[in-house]
Amino acid sequence: MLHLLDQSAETLQSWFTAHDLPGYRAAQVQRWLFEKRARSFDQMTDLPLELRNQLAEEFRIWSAGVAAHQEADDGTEKLLLELADGQRIECVLLRDDREHCNMCISSQVGCGMGCVFCATGLDGVVRNLTTGEIVEQMLQLQRLLDPAERLSHVVVMGMGEPLANLDHVLPALALATARGGLGISVRRVTISTVGLPAGIRRLAEMNCQYHLAISLHAADDALRTQLVPANRNVGIAAIMAAADEYFEKTGRRVTFEYVVLGGTNDRPADAARLVALLHGRPALVNLIPYNPVEGLPYHAPSAASVSRFADILTDGGLTVAVRHRKGDRIDAACGQLRR
């Protein structure tokens, strides 16, 4: 059986054409899934019964099951999904208010980049997610909303390295932002990457208008390679060149994420190097106080060290935000997602 959520609007359309069915039916099915939050073909009541049966014979809407569902008192909810092959991934819903619900979705089972502080990277990468599996996370999270709540933002910041799976991530984001899809504004989509220059260039070339966040974590190659082994064959200079190109082509300011690890990369000299690197660039720095991962030897920074670090950046003329911690009590905060 085909996974319905893995079909692009065009392939679904051609299935209808091949079956001598009117093309508008494809759009109708999509509206049921994305807008009216239907769970089954049975619920698509304005489709002829015969068509509903025919669809149910050829397509399954869902490929994954919910293996666990956790809820924190700040409104954050986390789903552990079990995929058709038994692999597991997590995705998170974060609420600001009714009009502003954000979802954090995964792009791979595990991650091959090996960042030494990250729970996702601990056991390497198993495989890329399909487009349908990425879309399914969004619809499963949408299901958790009450009818008055609206998905407004999506961040590809869960498990995995999205730029290592762009062929599946981009079609999923196209559905997230399509009018007949989830209708999320392209400017409210964030792709967070470890910094793969070829992928950044590809996004720049397509002038996609998504918000790009690059996980830097250190402003010199020696420290960065220690924290982000994938840096060894890349280097900060190549990442900065690609980031500059992204800004030139899209006009969108790039965010640099910096996980602050107590006693490791939070010294004043680290901040000064970051100022030197980013000075004069239209950049935003997002400081993420480390969320401890069991079994790893890294520590959360003290509040004093984070604010000292932030002050040095601000004094150096950079724009800085400290990421508000959400969902850490259910291990749904940055870097805590696992299989």
Q: What is the DSSP letter of 205?
A: H
Candidates 50-58, 67-75, 83-91, 190-198; binding stretch for ligand SAH (CB under 6 A): 190-198
Q: Does 334 bind ligand SAH (CB under 6 A)?
A: yes
For residue 218, with 0-12 CB atoms within 10 Å meaning exposed, 13-18 middle and 19 or more buried, which class applies? buried
CA 54 remoteness from chain centre: 34
Q: Which of residues 229-288 bind ligand SAH (CB under 6 A)?
A: 257, 259, 288
Q: State yes or no: is 91 an active-site residue.
A: no
| Contacted entry of ligand SF4, ligand SAH, none for residue 257, CB cut-off 5 to 8 Å set by kind | ligand SAH
Measured CA to CA, the distance from residue 251 to residue 241 in angstroms comes to 15
Q: Does 293 bind ligand SAH (CB under 6 A)?
A: yes
Which string of b and e fits 141-150 if b means at least 16 CB within 10 Å?
bbebbeeebe
Candidates 59-67, 112-120, 131-139, 237-245; binding stretch for ligand SF4 (CB under 6 A): 112-120
Measured CA to CA, the distance from residue 311 to residue 303 in angstroms comes to 12
- Are the C-beta atoms of 159 and 90 separated by less than 8 Å? yes
Candidates 38-46, 78-86, 93-101, 187-195; binding stretch for ligand SAH (CB under 6 A): 187-195
Q: How many residues does the chain have?
A: 339
Q: Does 115 bind ligand SF4 (CB under 6 A)?
A: yes
- Specify the amino acid at residue 67: A
Q: In the complex, what is the shortest distance from the CB of residue 4 to ligand SF4, in angstroms, rounded to a whole number?
A: 28
Of 59 and 298, which has the nearer Cβ to ligand SF4? 298
Q: Site for ligand SF4 (CB under 6 A): which residue of 94, 118, 213, 332?
A: 118
At residue 273, what are phi and psi to the nearest 5 degrees? -65, -35
Q: In the complex, what is the shortest distance from the CB of residue 55 to ligand SAH, in angstroms, rounded to a whole number?
A: 35
Strands 283-289 and 2-3: unpaired
Candidates 114-122, 174-182, 292-300, 321-329; binding stretch for ligand SF4 (CB under 6 A): 114-122
Measured CA to CA, the distance from residue 116 to residue 99 in angstroms comes to 36
| Contacted entry of ligand SAH, ligand SF4, none for residue 79, CB cut-off 5 to 8 Å set by kind | none
Of 61 and 230, which has the nearer Cβ to ligand SF4? 230
Of 114 and 292, which has the nearer Cβ to ligand SF4? 114
- Give the Å distances, CA to CA, from 93 to 133, 210, 256: 16, 20, 23
Joined together, the tokens standing for residue 159 give 């498990």
- Are the C-beta atoms of 15 and 7 separated by less than 8 Å? yes
| Contacted entry of ligand SAH, ligand SF4, none for residue 165, CB cut-off 5 to 8 Å set by kind | none
Q: Which of residues 168-227 bind ligand SF4 (CB under 6 A)?
A: 194, 215
Which residue intervals of the chain are DSSP H helices? 9-18, 24-34, 49-58, 131-142, 166-177, 197-205, 221-227, 236-250, 268-278, 303-315
Measured CA to CA, the distance from residue 90 to residue 105 in angstroms comes to 7
Q: Which of 77, 90, 161, 257 is catalytic?
A: 90
Q: State yes or no: is 118 an active-site residue.
A: no
Q: In the complex, what is the shortest distance from the CB of residue 195 to ligand SAH, in angstroms, rounded to a whole number?
A: 8
Q: In the complex, what is the shortest distance from the CB of residue 218 to ligand SF4, in angstroms, rounded to a whole number?
A: 13
Tell me the residue number closest to ligand SF4, measured at CB.
Answer: 121
Q: Does 120 bind ligand SF4 (CB under 6 A)?
A: yes
- Site size toward ligand SF4 (CB under 6 A) is 11
Strands 151-156 and 211-215: unpaired
Q: Which residues bind ligand SF4 (CB under 6 A)?
A: 111, 113-115, 118, 120-121, 160-161, 194, 215
- Any idea which residues carry the catalytic annotation? 90, 334
Q: Which residues bind ligand SAH (CB under 6 A)?
A: 111, 115, 117-118, 157, 161, 192-194, 215, 257, 259, 288, 290-291, 293, 334-336
